[in-house]
Structure 1
Amino acid sequence: MFETQFTKDFNVEYPIMQGGMMWISKKELVSAVSNAGGLGILSALSFETPELLANEIEQTKKLTTRPFGVNLTFLPTLKPVNYDAYIDAIVQSGVKIVETAGRNPADYIEKLKNNNVKIIHKCTSIRHAIKAQNIGCDYVSIDGFECAGHPGEDDVTSLILIPRAKDELNIPIIASGGFGDARGFVAALSLGACAVNMGTRFMMTKEAPVHENIKQALLNAKETDTVLVERSLKNTLRAFKNKHALKVLELENNKATLEELAPYLSGLNGKKMLEEGSIDNALLACGQVIGLINDIPTTTEVIVNIINQAKQIIEQQARLI
């Protein structure tokens, strides 16, 4: 059911991909998504060293025999990252699917291609998607303005970006940003995508390594409970509207420098929050789709419900013809 280019290329049952979320996309969640028939994605930079990533890949293999990939994000950081070493760890582990995001991954394409790795590049604009195609990426994950994390600076929604990407590109497209149920899944396929990528929806599952306090706070949230921060740095982030995010926004409105903002932007704050459950102590990437999430099911329940309900939606809509 719902066989697409995505299911064929990545040998998965369903055209559903789990987002690479910092501190969250670890073996527990990734293996659960892959076992449920989707494509699980580890977040490489959740692990302080390439050796720790390699170990996590091996631990994930013990939990699933099905395909999974690794996300590697090239973003401005206060601490330099040895990306070549991370790629070596991925390649040597035998992983054949890599999702890149952030800056242009051109410097690393050849090494990945030489090791038969399929590359999905996440983009927030058509110009970046065209560039990704031109440098040899196999897929583009087009990320609409609704998304959690970094939506870019153009503020174009998925409803526009997906069909525009379909019109412009010759490589397959994954829809990312604003997807969390069967209605969005069917819409994405109709707009020209061959799969959906979901982060916030999978963050709100039983297997996600997120403190229960955080899950409950998000469960009560609406689509209006996100805020855009880091716009002054040209590194826009959509985050949950908590006290910490509002403080960052206040500092930016008062023309704070990077040095003044840096203590509030540390990723280690987020790691501590997810582990300890203090909802107001860090930035938490969260998409507008949070307004559509009303439960905390298993990953299997998420995927099975989407597929079954999508089939019903398509059958119902066919009766209109």
Structure 2
Amino acid sequence: MPSSSPPLFTTPLTRLFNISHPVMLAGMSVAAGPTLAAAVTNAGGIGVIGGIHYTPRMLQEAIDDLKSQLENKDAPFGVDLALPQVGGHARKTNYDYTKGQLPALTDIIIKNKAALFVCAVGVPPKDMVDKLHAAGILVMNMVGHPKHVHKALAQGTPTFGKPDR
């Protein structure tokens, strides 16, 4: 386990990620960058970096920064991207924050062996979920409305409610 302190108890989360403490940092864009994510992972939890406007280069730099601060270079970390639905029946105000770069971002997540991918806005495309699962990366989808649960489950992702819902 990444932390030097022994776990006081185990939970499904600690067993799933082989971490000491059931603590997961939300990927809150600039409010929780690589330094905070590394600190959470170093303390025995799982740190997650997140960003709305990541380009592939920016994501790679954020992961490199996080990994450079890890005491155990094999410790788990996660990546959170916002993937609102665009086109079709989606809200006209929705925007593709990846600017068409989702395949490249997915490849970077896989290449860097993230333990977890989180989608806090929107539902990731099924082909992305399948590709991440094939690479051994767990996928989590946070939902803000009950109707989104069915969409997330159909893509093969477990769901967790947002705290404000």
**Contact in 2 for aligned 1:132/1:140 (Cα 8 Å):** yes
Aligned counterparts of 1:56 and 1:101: Cα–Cα separation in 2: 18
Q: Are residue 74 (structure 1) and residue 80 (structure 2) matched? A: no
**Contact in 2 for aligned 1:17/1:41 (Cα 8 Å):** yes
Displacement of 1:101 in angstroms is: 2.3
Larger Rg: 1
Displacement of 1:90 in angstroms is: 0.9
Deviations 1:264-313 (A, max 9, x none): xxxxxxxxxxxxxxxxxxxxxxxxxxxxxxxxxxxxxxxxxxxxxxxxxx
Residue 156 of structure 2, aligned match among 124, 130, 136: 136
The residue that corresponds to 1:251 in the other structure is: none
Aligned counterparts of 2:62 and 2:68: Cα–Cα separation in 1: 10
The residue that corresponds to 2:88 in the other structure is: none
Q: Are residue 84 (structure 1) and residue 93 (structure 2) matched? A: no
The residue that corresponds to 1:36 in the other structure is: 43
4+ long deviations beyond 4 Å: none
Overall identity of the aligned pairs, in %: 26
**Contact in 1 for aligned 2:35/2:65 (Cα 8 Å):** no
In structure 2, what residue type is equivalent to 1:95? A
Computed over aligned residues only, the root mean square deviation of the Cα atoms, in angstroms, reads 2.0
**Contact in 1 for aligned 2:83/2:96 (Cα 8 Å):** no
- Structure 2: which 5+ runs fail to align? 1-7, 85-93
Residue 118 of structure 2, aligned match among 99, 118, 122: 99
State the TM-score, normalizing by the size of structure 1.
Answer: 0.42
State the TM-score, normalizing by the size of structure 2.
Answer: 0.77
In structure 2, what residue type is equivalent to 1:31? A
Displacement of 1:81 in angstroms is: 4.2
Displacement of 1:78 in angstroms is: 7.1
Aligned counterparts of 2:51 and 2:103: Cα–Cα separation in 1: 12
Displacement of 1:135 in angstroms is: 2.0
Map 1:48-63 to 2 at 5 A. Answer: 49-63=55-69
- CA gap of 1:63–1:98, structure 2 versus 1, over 3 A, is same
The structure with the largest helix share of the pair is 1
**Contact in 2 for aligned 1:23/1:46 (Cα 8 Å):** no
Displacement of 1:56 in angstroms is: 1.9
